[in-house]
Structure 1
Amino acid sequence: MSSPSRAYAARRRHLLLALLVPVPACFPPGPAMAQEAPERITVTGISKAPAPVRPAGQTVYSTSRATYANTPALSVADMLVTVPGVSAVTGNGPRDVAISIRGSDDRQTYGLRNIQVLEDGFPMTQPDGLARADLIDPHAYAGADVVQGPASTVYGNYAVDGAILFHTRDGADLQGVELGSDFGSYGLSNQYITAGVAGRGYDLMVFGSDVRGDGFIANSRYDTSTENVKLRIDLGPRDRLVFKVVNNVTDTRLPVRLSLDQYGRNPYQKGCSNLGQAGCGSVSLYRNGAYGPVQAVSPQAAGLGRFDRRTIVGLRWEHDLDRSTVWRTQFTYDERDIDQPTSSTSYVGPYDSYDVSSDVTRNGQMFGLPVTSFAGVNWNYLDYGSQVYNLTPLGGATLGSLSQTAYGHQWNGGARFQEEIRFAPHWKGVVGLGGEYSDLGATETIFSDTATGSSRRFITGNRFYFNLAPEGALIYTPSSDWTLHGRVGTGYGTPQTSNLFVTPQGLFGNNTKLNSQSNVGVDLGAEWHPSADLTLQATGFYEFFRNELVSQTAGVNLQSYTFNAPASEHRGVELGADWTPLPRFVPGARLLLTYTYDNQIYTNYTEALANSTTSRSFSRNGNAIPGVVPNVLDVRLVYDRASGGFEGVGGFLEFSFRDGFWLDNANLLKAPGVGLFNLDLHYDPPRRMKLLHRFHIFFEIQNLADRTYVASASNLSDSLTSAGVQAGASVIAAKTGSIYAGAPRSFFGGVRVKF
């Protein structure tokens, strides 16, 4: 085994005093993240004491930069592909990936929902629970920790199924400038620069990138720029400031989502600019941009796309009250401006939010036993105003009449505490409680135009919610090779104001009876290290949801709507393995495996369907929740030459499997599964090669077998036929607005040089 591998194994064994040690959302990553160590999958996280915000006792899987440093790393999905329990679907744009923890976001086709996202300790999720992956260029990051299962005790509203804690690189890790250029199929070009410097009392990292391409689906050209800055300053021996800036501009064209039938005929929407081919998707636009007859046009002719800007600025003060107590206070301003002609209408408007939090963490003793105490408060506020315009068939996303306005707010205020106590040499217990009050209010104005005049309809919605999240956990470490843990945790998520104004018919109206969803989850897990060459991990989870918020589309040119499923259960298993099978003979060969089984079913839900004359109810008890992928597997065979004439040469062969999944509540129609092969080759010249050591190159082929597959699918509504019976699978298969195809065989290459 190479010396870096031995050092890594020793460090990991040292961390195994507990399976789930504190993961500091507010501190920079430690040595295990800061270096490009060998690829790994680990549930230990990163430890630094005291840790102000951390999921003590909770399942945490981590990934490091080594997993994706020599890949195209276009989106956050490339960062997290080797993390058990995580899956991803394509959203509205090349980097707008919907990330799911244990299936939490598989039903969401844009953005990140049901999880809290933090970067270097600053919130990337706005108060309404929405985060966007457009912000994330993986080249800027040292790694991420994925907190699995309900986590509202520490992370508050919308941490229904966990949190993701991203860590950017440190200036001390860089100490210079890195220039990179990635290129590949379908016009991909990503130019990026990372600069870092550190000295006595400061650490600065600056990153910037511009990625553009033509896309593999018609009308999916894109150009995205990102800037990311992190500055840490020591004001004295007991005070520190952390300054954070993230800025992103996304300019992307958008195709329309297809029906399963259309996808089967023309998955990449070729020849559809004039709707001249079979299997083409379209949007129906008012010919005069306001009312009356409509005209079906292609997404190219309509000019569908997104032009969004997001700017986040944060400042944190960390003060050591004494040698064992840290007080942390931070403020974050988050501005999101959207211009989104994504369908027959265009959404325009600002979403400005403010977040303030303060917490104290103390390492001490209680009755002579080691105790870590955490307490914190938070308050955040979102103020938004949006306008919705009809599009016209004139092209270029030309706006017609105003169809809707929405002005509203959401604020959340809460408090939480958590206690860890080591009550025996091999045992640690955790208890905690969090509570939060949420206020949602908005007024929507619906404009109706006819040949005889115009009218307005006002819809007002106000809801107030209060949620509690208790938790408890036990951790048992009989030896440095074994760690067992059990936890009962709670998560909750209120609706967003946008959920309150779309009825199950896909039309604007009052939907204010929605309740908060809640999740009580039980985790049982183990980690075993029989040797430095093998790590095995397993976690079983069983989660009980009440009033789960489920969204689905009512059909073409209709709005997606949200409803409460009274009761559902999520249960599954997460597995991870990291194995060096022949450490003496082939020390550079490793096997990385992650597998997730996720079975989610309704246990109490009756769905009402109606046609123009009849209404009927159907029990969905025992049905699988649509959109959830039951089996996800990733196997990566890695080889990195650590010595000899070919030192620095490496690569991997990867197989990723994604199971088929249901598209509707009645479980009549399924999206097919797929297995993909990827091949990567890279070269990191050793230090002895002097100037050449500064260069790093890679080449990768994705989807080696050129399989056609479903990369994203919106849930579809079941319906009644004119005869009053539930429509069959063939009817659902013809419903549009659901499916994006995944990329065919693609070639990528890149070079990175450090000065």
Structure 2
Amino acid sequence: MKRIILFAACFICVLFTKAQTIKGKIVDAATKSPLSGATVMMGGKDIASTDKDGMFSFKCTSSVTISVSFVGYETQKRTANCNDELNIELAVAGNTLDNVEITATSNQNKSLLYQPSSITKLSTTELNRGNGLFLDDAINSNVPGVTMNRRAVSSGQQFNIRGYGNGSRGTRGISSNFDGQGYKVYLNGIPITDAEGITVLDDIDFGSIGNVEVVKGPAGTLYGLAIAGVVNLETVKPAKGTSIGQEVLIGNYGLQRYTTHFQYATDKSSLLVNYGHQKSDGFTIHNSSKKNFVNVAGNFQPNAKQTIMTYFGYSNSYDERSGELTPDQYNNDDYSGNIAYIRNNAHSEVLSVRAGLGHTYIFNSHIANTTTVFGTSFNNNASSAGGWSDKSSTNLGVRSTFATKFNMQSGASLSGITGVETQRQNAQAVGYNMKINPLDNQTTGANPWVVGRPYYVINTATSNNATQTATTSLFTEWTLALPHDLSFTAGLGVSNMVIRLDDRFNSATATMPSHYDTTYKGMVSPHFAINKVFNTKFSVYASYSTAYKAPVSSYFYVVTPAAGPAPASSKVNGSLKPEKGEQVEVGTKGSLLGNKLSYQLALFHTSFSNKMTTIAVPNPNNTATLYSYVVNGGEQDHKGVEAFVKYNVKGGKDGFFTSIAPFINFTYSDFKYENYKFMTGTTTANQKTYDFSGSPVAGVSKIVAAVGIDVDTKCGFYGNINHLYRDKMSVTSPDTLYTSSYNLLNAKLGFRKRVSTHFDIDLSFGVNNITSTKYPIMIFVNQLPDAYVAGPRKANYFATLKLNYIF
């Protein structure tokens, strides 16, 4: 009997020992998405591979050391005991270049090294080198080929990507940059750009942004009407744990920013709640700014197959505008502004609500879907020298993509992204002229308006237009990844836009209807690329991309005023075509010297055809402009070189420094007008031919360079110093007026420390424009006498205190 009991006990122990297993899940360290097909090795032999959900398991009898690998990722070793459940995050090989997180791509490997295009990524390091509130300092110093302007302290922001110039204003000149057109901007996957293709950034809280990715050049395949490129913004990602914090920033020119935030994050969920109050007295007359922001962003993973994204944003923004300076004012240091603007209490007030709900579902190891529905309510009232305008709009839309992946023989794989983005806007805009304030007892004429008298007030309506715009883009892109890190990418996007306008101010007549509508369709945007990665350290690529920009509601129709016996008439401008952008780019990226040296180099040739411009038609006597309309004037030929290099030296175990990272970037732009001829006039006597061919594209500096260094220490001190050089640029076409070149020197020094288990502190002091250089924060192209928006004339100081409590 004892032998039987002993035998049974031994048998049970053997069974129990054999039943022991080690389980685990392998995911991408950046995106947290499961990696299917990763290999688990022990003692040089394959013992397991991950399934569609990134899961693996194998039997064990004792503690073991395993090696986990996946193509394009750094191999990781782990020691585990029987019955352990491991959560392993693999980093992309050469991750000094970072991963693409919020930019659409068909490549399964999200490392920038594997993307055959020019994408610049900004993290909190670059975003917080300055005060972190306005974004333009981060863009202008860290994104080669891209300039960000602003019309005042924190309004009228625009991007100029590789010299495109934001399209036609619809009133005068070529390459106008009166508003933001030609590029698309997204926040947490939600379009900020409206259905008409116009981007307003007054209501965006750049102080809450933690990640920026900029796609440079035509991006029509995956983003529709994005002829210049795409800017993707993402709010700060909460660190793991629960915390509340308060930030206070104080600077000269009356700058104040107060931010209160709550952050919560686990392996499967995160929540950010942010409130910001920001104000400034401005750095010139009639230039104050006041803003209130609320941002709520959440990500939740109820199970291994599903992820839910939510975003809600509220903004109440008011910015005064002093108007643009004439060249004489700017050259003579006369910052008194434009009296016609100040008289009309020029400003931009924006009240907006933006919300989005996204859902990702992983069907199996081959296909997953991400769908985001979004909506924006936007209300804006603004005044300028020309009068007052009220605009209310609602944008609704959806973006849905299917990510697909198929493993093939011999280690090859085929991955793709296929989807649709559609957006519709209903808007109403009412314009008014302005008159002397009834409370103003002084007279005009010999006693013109001066600062200190009551502002002008709204008078009578001059226009009332209701518009409906809708755009839809269908797209698909595929990447064939072959052994030896060679990949081919091909894609196709098809876009259309519908514009309808109802004139609710003027009564319809036989020659002048009150309803206009047209459709721009068949805008086909192919994309081809090849990428080769060498030893997972550096890559070489070549690509061809295209995109379009359709006309907007302000100039898709022509109004001809009455002239003699001929009555006023109007019609849709049927000859107006969308602009088209085509780009050929070759480049190389790499992470060398043990991942200490990272670089990107791109050479591109972009051609914009059917470029829109405005023709002013004079009266028969050639004494005044009779009317204006927009035509396709010619081409722009852009050739450029962009380079970025960063060297990151990690400190030793016992050293004072944890990181020393010098960086430099350089942009060379040779942009010219080609075949840019058009004629104005209604009679032989007043006809005039304009020819801009061969002239440099206005609003672009030929050379821009930035150099700097970031330093971190073990004791908590950190700092940076950076220098920006911008070459002269032409203000008008042809190039009869140039701005001066300038240099900006900025620096920041700070101290951050976890003073206890629950308490963090971060104190910093910075100076922008240390040498008090005179420079413009924006140049209005081809709009003389309006030309310059001057930046702060003196050094701009700021100090920041950040307190954070961790539960």
1:389 pairs with 2:432:
yes
Q: Answer yes or no: is the 8 Å Cα contact 1:331–1:355 preserved in 2.
A: yes
Tell me which residue corresponds to 2:279: 212
Question: What SS does the corresponding residue of 1:672 show, helix, strand or coil?
Answer: coil
Counting only pairs closer than 5 Å after superposition, residues 538-617 of structure 1 correspond to structure 2 as 538-549=601-612, 563-580=631-648, 588-608=659-679, 614-617=686-689
What are the Cα deviations for residues 187-236 of structure 1, in whole angstroms up to 9, with x where unaligned? 10011122111347432111111110110121011101111111223343
Change (3 A) 1:666 1:446: farther
The corresponding residue for 2:777 is 711
Q: How far apart, CA to CA, are the structure 1 residues paired with 2:617 and 2:196? A: 23
Please name the residue that 1:98 is paired with: 158
CA 1:202/1:52 → structure 2, altered by over 3 Å: closer, same or farther? farther
Say whether the 8 Å CA contact 1:76–1:133 is kept in structure 2.
no
1:468 has 2:555 as partner: no
> In structure 2, what is the equivalent of residue 723 of structure 1?
none
Within the alignment, does 1:160 sit opposite 2:227 as a pair? yes
Which residue of the partner structure matches residue 727 of structure 1?
A: none
Worse-superposed segment, 144-153 or 548-557: 548-557
Q: 2:296 aligns with which of 229, 232, 235?
A: 229
Residue type at the aligned position of 1:404: S
Cα displacement string for residues 165-194 of structure 1 (whole angstroms, at most 9, x for unaligned residues):
112123344631121011111110011122
Which residue of structure 1 aligns with residue 47 of structure 2? none
Please list, as runs of the form range in 1=range in 2, the aligned pairs for 1:370-381 lying within 5 A after superposition: 370-381=413-424
Does residue 421 of structure 2 align to residue 350 of structure 1? no
8 Å Cα contact 1:118/1:124 also seen in 2:
yes
- Determine if contact 1:50/1:326 at 8 Å carries over to the other structure: no
Alignment of 1:178 onto 2:178: no
C-alpha change, 1:635 and 1:550, in structure 2 (3 Å) is: farther
In the TM superposition, residue 44 of structure 1 has moved relative to its aligned partner by 4.8
Ranges in structure 2 where 5+ consecutive residues have no aligned partner: 1-28, 31-68, 74-88, 167-174, 438-453, 562-567, 619-623
Which residue in 2 is equivalent to 1:402?
Answer: 461
Relative to structure 1, the CA distance from residue 740 to residue 48 in structure 2 (aligned partners, 3 Å threshold; closer, same or farther) is closer
Partner Cα separation in structure 1 for residue 642 and residue 626 of structure 2: 37
Letter of the 2:781 counterpart = N
- The one-letter amino acid paired with 1:690 is S
- The secondary structure found in structure 1 opposite 2:756 is helix
Amino acid at match of 1:568: Q
Equivalent residue number for residue 533 of structure 1: 596
What SS does the aligned partner of 1:96 have?
A: coil
Deviation at residue 521 of structure 1 after TM alignment: 0.4
Q: CA deviation at 1:253?
A: 1.2
Supply the distance in 2 between the matched residues of 1:709 and 1:16 (Cα, whole angstroms). 49
Residue in structure 2 matched with residue 115 of structure 1 by the alignment: 183
**Secondary structure of 1:439's partner?**
strand
Residue 522 (structure 1) aligned with residue 571 (structure 2): no
In the TM superposition, residue 459 of structure 1 has moved relative to its aligned partner by: 5.6
Helix, strand or coil at the partner of 2:771: coil
1:490 aligns with 2:553: no
Task: Tell whether the 8 Å contact from 2:462 to 2:505 is kept in structure 1 after alignment.
Answer: yes
Match for 1:281 among 338, 358, 365?
338
Report the CA distance between 1:428 and its aligned residue.
Answer: 0.4
Q: Deviations over 1:541-567 (max 9, x none)?
A: 111111124579999999997553322
Change (3 A) 1:130 1:16: farther
SS in 2 for 1:497: coil
Give the Cα–Cα distance (whole angstroms) in 2 for the partners of residues 215 and 121 of structure 1: 32
Whole-Å Cα distance in 2 between the matches of residues 666 and 50 of structure 1? 39
Residue aligned with 2:782, SS: coil
Give distance in 1, aligned partners of 2:723 and 2:106: 37
The alpha-carbon distance between structure 1 residues 281 and 533, as it changes in their structure 2 partners (threshold 3 A), is same
Worse-matched range after superposition: 168-177 or 330-339? 168-177
Structure 1 residue aligned with 2:381, among 310, 315, 339? 339
Gaps of 5+ in 1: 1-6, 9-13, 19-29, 34-39, 270-279, 284-298, 449-455, 718-734
- In structure 2, the partner of 1:308 is 350
Q: Distance in 1 between matches of 2:776 and 2:314?
A: 31
Distance 1:581 1:421, change over 3 A: same
Task: Name the CA distance, whole Å, in 2 between partners of 1:610 and 1:419.
Answer: 50
Letter in 2 for 1:380: Q
Partner amino acid for 1:233? Answer: F
Taking a change above 3 Å as real, the CA distance of residues 213 and 50 of structure 1, as seen in their structure-2 partners, is closer
The residue identity in structure 2 corresponding to 1:624 is P
Residue aligning to 2:51: none
- 1:132 equivalent to 2:204? Answer no
Q: CA deviation at 1:396?
A: 4.1
- The two structures, once aligned, show a CA RMSD in angstroms of 3.6
402, 411, 414: which is aligned to 1:360?
Answer: 402
CA distance in 1 between partners of 2:279 and 2:306 (Å) = 42
Structure 1 residue 405 displacement after superposition? 1.2
TM-score by length of 1: 0.81
Contact (CA 8 Å) 1:150, 1:521: kept in 2 or not?
Answer: yes
1:281-300 equivalences under 5 Å are 281-283=338-340, 299-300=341-342
Query: Which segment drifts farther, 537-546 or 558-567?
Result: 558-567
Q: Name the SS of the counterpart of 1:322 in structure 2.
A: coil
AA paired with 1:706?
S
SS in 1 for 2:150: strand
The alpha-carbon distance between structure 1 residues 533 and 116, as it changes in their structure 2 partners (threshold 3 A), is same
State how far apart, in whole Å, the 1-side matches of 2:434 and 2:318 are: 18
Partner of 1:437: 496
1:747 maps to 2:783: no
- Of the three residues 255, 261, 269, the one matched with 1:194 is 261
- 1:485-504 CA deviation, whole Å, 9 max, x = no partner? 11001111111112325789
CA positional deviation for 1:57: 2.8
Which residue does 1:630 correspond to in 2? 702
- The 2-side partners of 1:350 and 1:696 are apart by 41
Q: CA deviation at 1:650?
A: 2.1
What SS does the corresponding residue of 1:139 show, helix, strand or coil? helix
How far did residue 15 of structure 1 move? 11
CA distance in 1, matches of 2:746, 2:105: 41
- 1:12-27 alignment, distance < 5 Å: 17=72
Contact 2:107/2:416, CA 8 A, preserved across alignment: no
The change in CA–CA distance for 1:511 and 1:464 in structure 2 (over 3 A counts) is closer
Larger Rg: 2
Whether contact under 8 Å (2:723, 2:745) holds in the other structure is yes
C-alpha distance in 2 between matches for 1:640 and 1:185: 27
1:251 matched to which residue of 2?
318
Structure 2 equivalent of residue 82 of structure 1: 142
User: Would the aligned equivalents of 1:553 and 1:716 in 2 still touch at CA under 8 Å?
Assistant: no
Paired-residue identity, %: 17
Residue 499 of structure 2 aligns to a residue whose secondary structure is strand
- Listed one character per residue, the Cα deviations across residues 626-645 of structure 1 (whole Å, up to 9, x for unaligned) are 1122222111122222x3xx
After superposition, give the CA deviation of every residue in 1:14-71 in whole Å (9 maximum; x if it has no partner): 99949xxxxxxxxxxx9999xxxxxx98475349999799995322110101223363
C-alpha contact (below 8 Å) 2:518/2:572 kept by paired residues: no
- Give the match's secondary structure for 1:186: coil
Q: Residue 333 of structure 1 contacts residue 354 of structure 1 at CA under 8 Å; is this kept in 2?
A: yes
Q: CA deviation at 1:653?
A: 1.8
Q: In structure 1, how many angstroms separate the alpha carbons of the residues matched to 2:245 and 2:146?
A: 30
What is the TM-score with the length of structure 2 in the denominator? 0.76
Distance change >3 Å, CA 128–CA 558, structure 1 → 2: farther
Residues 303, 341 of structure 1: 8 Å contact kept:
yes
Pairing 1:481–2:572 present: no
